[in-house]
Amino acid sequence: MTAIDINYTTRRARVRWDERVTKLSAILEAIAAIGYRAHPYDVGRSEELAQKERKAALWRLFVAGFGMMQVMMYAIPVYLADGDMTPDIEQLMRWASLILTLPVMLYSAAPFFVSAWRDLKLRRVGMDVPVALGVGAAFAASVWATLIAAGEVYFDSVTMFVFFLLSGRYLEMMARQKAARSVETLARAIPAFATRLAAWPGSTDGERIAVAELRTGDAVQVRPGETVPADGFVLEGESAADESLLTGESRPVSKVAGDALIGGSVNTASPLVMRVERVGEATRVAAIQRLMERAAAEKPRLVEMADRVAGRFIIALLVLAVGAALAWWWIDASRALWIFVAVLVVSCPCALSLATPAALTVATGALAARGVLVTRGHAIEALARADRFIFDKTGTLTLGRMALVEVIPKRDDAARALALAAALERGSEHPIARALAAGAAGADGTGANAAMPVDGLRATTGAGVEGSIEGRVWRLGRPAFVGAMHGAALPADIETKVGAGDTVIALGNEEGWQAFFRLSDGLRPEAAGMASRLKAAGIRLSIFSGDLPAAAARVGAALGIADTRGGLSPEDKHAALRDLQEAGETVAMVGDGVNDAPVLAQAQVSIAMGGGADLARANADVVLLGNDLQALPEGLALARRTVRIVKQNLVWAFAYNFLAIPLAMAGWVTPWMAGIGMSASSLLVVLNALRLQRN
């Protein structure tokens, strides 16, 4: 195998192998050898297995509960008789209890023994090892006492313990499946079939085909109530789309010709005809699903620490249980066994191991429902600790839909300057590039100018682009970048506009300035509210922008952000952020462009806008799916709640174990009481974590 990623939440593994070296059958055999069964991933199959798991767990719970009640019917008369029952009747009660306990041991408790045996074969000590030892020892001793008609039996404690433990694990399983369903829901978002209009626009006759057969450029009809089968844009019609599954936006988003459609969203009003742009693994829903799986597959630092502590704790627990049994063998041999069982059971570190992952798993799903997609395992913890948020300006605090306001030619006419600029920016997804392309298309409806061939095109991140057109080298970008080519001073009228904070892009060659383009970009309507809520939460705010200092300062003044720095290259941003970190600050960086990728990677927690560049999203720890900045303070508050709940769970788990172990060793806790305590402890941390799903 060349790579393997295991997602413990969804119980899925992504395996990459070289067929010339390894066969799939060999991989499946290796998985089977360590006690697991592997199936090719399929959404329907996954849900079928989850239902099968729930059904099997319920049956095991039913058998354990029924056995427990029946065994107690025979145990209670023996307890009430207090030694006055005749030996033959008492022995009959014991045999009846043994017969009723057998199904509980052979069927209900089987998973504990299977898991413990697998762990021991792999030379490790898992959480089921002390459980299996305790249950097995109590049952074996009870069987021996029944066979020789002497000594104590613990069939009632065994069945009760198994029932309570299975009850807790069933509820844990339901919580885990509920938390993991967010990934599965995304996988089911894309429909199986779509209506392709093969002869559109000449004919509206459609054919029903599998979504897997769709290709880029196909025209597809989406009726009201149907799910959009792929990413694309509207060709015809006017409607609204429910994108809540993907962006967290609860209100339908209006759609007209030219608007983008996201695969997995639902058409809510009128029929639409769309053109397919991305299908399969290239769609946005597939990218979101991969990011969610990556987050679940990575173990945060808190989880790794809890796992290490739990592993050492189990070894210490086994030593304490054996020590307590030996001590009681000298004090009162009749009590040694059940004290050994009680110590093993009462402090099994299930709650300790569940304390952190349960909260983080639930929090990840709750954040996704709010449009905040966690893509790295450590992101929630880092976000909760953040004390400074740094924002890029263009496309993050602003709408990112820059409009061309004015063309200022210096050597040639405006139309040719626009054509040169559009040719140089062809293929770029930057908001400025889109604005120039739109301006050029408006000036020349044929699009011929934008098709100018460009040779040797080279982009300088955060500065601009350079390329050869008609045998001459041109530069387009920041005035300083273009001016370095010819050394001419910035014209006075342009310098005035720059000083006023306008966004000005220059075009020139080695002979001098060719033209200037003035663009505008409005603030996001929710930006001011977001900034005030973050400041109220004690967060310090900064703006690091590659735009001109005056333009960045104007945005900072509008949002009440004092630390505003403009004219920064990606290297400058990276250095400034590192300075803040060295001063002891925990930094969250919010950006959307390719030039933000290095600084996103440097921050303790990086946040990318969902509509930004792919590279920024790939390097981010968190993605704002709906591009709604108000999700930031909501996500911060939920992350802080998550860390508080993790701490509560850990404090409870440690306090419970430190209290329960001495009580069990002192003989004050019976095995059935231990079963209730351990199950209740595990259930408590899961229920505490589920509180994060509440608004």
Catalytic residue among 218, 392, 521, 621: 392
Q: Which residue has the higher pLDDT, 176 or 28?
A: 28
| Per-residue model confidence as pLDDT tens digits over 488-542 | 888 888 877 766 656 788 999 988 899 999 887 778 888 999 999 999 999 999 9
| Residue extents of the structural domains in the chain | 3-36, 46-185+292-362+646-693, 193-282, 373-398+524-638, 403-520
The DSSP line for 349-394 is THHHHHHHHHHHHHHHHHHHHTTEEE-STTHHHHHHH--EEEE-II
* Residues in CB range of 611: below 8 A, 6 or more apart: 395, 400, 592, 627
Of residues 500 and 333, the one with the higher pLDDT is 333
Q: Is the distance from CB of 622 to CB of 608 less than 8 angstroms? A: yes
CATH homologous superfamily, domain 373-398+524-638: HAD superfamily/HAD-like (3.40.50.1000)
* CATH for 193-282, options being 3.40.50.280, 2.70.150.10, 3.40.50.1000, 2.20.28.160: 2.70.150.10
pLDDT category of residue 45 using cuts at 50, 70 and 90: low
Query: Higher confidence at residue 390 or residue 333?
Result: 390
Report yes or no: 664 and 342 within 8 Å, Cβ to Cβ.
yes
What percentage of the chain exceeds 90 in pLDDT?
Answer: 13
What is the SS3 assignment for 676? helix
Which residues are 227's β-sheet partners? 266
CA distances from 423 to 467, 485, 505, 518 (A): 9, 19, 15, 18
Q: Do 417 and 469 contact (CB within 8 A), yes or no?
A: no
Residue 258 scores a pLDDT above 50: yes
Average pLDDT of the chain to the nearest whole number: 79
**Weakest-pLDDT range from 43-52, 195-204, 639-648:** 43-52
pLDDT at 449: 47
Task: Name the burial class of residue 21, with classes exposed (0-12), middle (13-18) and buried (19+) by CB atoms within 10 angstroms of its CB.
Answer: exposed
CA dihedral 110, 113, 115, 119 (to 10 degrees): -170
Residue 446 has pLDDT above 50, yes or no: no
CATH number of 403-520: 3.40.1110.10
Active site residue 392: yes
CA distance 434 to 39: 45
Per-residue model confidence (pLDDT) at position 501: 59
* pLDDT band at 445; cut points 50, 70, 90: very low
Average pLDDT over residues 368-385: 82
Half-sphere exposure of 430 (CA within 13 A, CB side): 23
Is the pLDDT at 112 greater than 80, yes or no?
yes
- Give the CA angle between residues 72, 76, 81 to the nearest 5°: 160
- What was the pLDDT predicted at 573? 86
Q: What CA–CA distance (Å, rounded) separates 3 from 465?
A: 37
Confidence of residue 182 (pLDDT cuts 50, 70, 90): low
